[in-house]
Amino acid sequence: MIQRIQSLYLLLASLLMLAVCFFPILWVKVGETGFYTLIFWGVEAKAAEPYSMSLSQGVLAALTVLSVYAPFRTLFAFKNRRRQMRWALCSTVLILAQLTMIGITTYLLTEAFAQTSVSPNWTLLLPPGAVCLCVLAYRAIKRDDNKIRSIDRIR
């Protein structure tokens, strides 16, 4: 329900995280011929030997899916502001965990090969933007909750 500003923030955060699913996050060039693309479900090899990091790839995919779902789920918890605040914080933590996992995956990929160069894509800027939107949504929800509590005290 798009009636409050926090709903708009949460919808935008969810859409930003959904965009991460459709575009490459970064590219890693190995030597002269090797080329790897980091996408939300893992590492894709282009003109290079296949690279397998099954654990971090699965965790990255799960965190990406959860970081799309959590802000969207928060959007529909508007009847219970306390629960909505918890979900907004949970969304923030999930997105930060996804960013951490992207960093770990990039580190592991660059450590596995010599002479690597990393080229980030614009998609890498979307999760920090979603974190900011989730924090703004949390603050707006808290402001609404404080208003309701102050009105209840007056009665």
Secondary structure element (H or E) that encloses residue 38, with its range = strand 34-39
CA distances from 48 to 33, 45, 55, 57, 108 (A): 7, 6, 21, 18, 16
For the residues of 1-32, what is the DSSP string, one character each? ---SHHHHHHHHHHHHHHHHTTS--EEEEETT
pLDDT at 108: 82
How is the chain split into domains, by residue range?
Answer: 5-23+55-111+122-154
Q: How confident is the model at residue 116 (pLDDT cuts 50, 70, 90)?
A: confident
pLDDT at 55: 63
Q: How confident is the model at residue 37 (pLDDT cuts 50, 70, 90)?
A: confident
Is 75's pLDDT higher than 80?
A: yes
3-state secondary structure of 78: coil
pLDDT at 95: 94
pLDDT at 47: 64
Is 65's pLDDT higher than 70?
A: yes
Residue indicated by tokens 């575009």: 23
The structure's pTM equals 0.86
Q: pLDDT tens across 7-31, in order?
A: 999 999 999 999 999 999 888 888 7
More confident residue, 146 or 53: 146
pLDDT at 86: 92
pLDDT at 74: 87
Output helix, strand, coil percentages for the chain, rounded to the nearest 5.
65, 15, 20
Q: Which of 20-29, 40-49, 58-67 has the lowest mean pLDDT?
A: 40-49
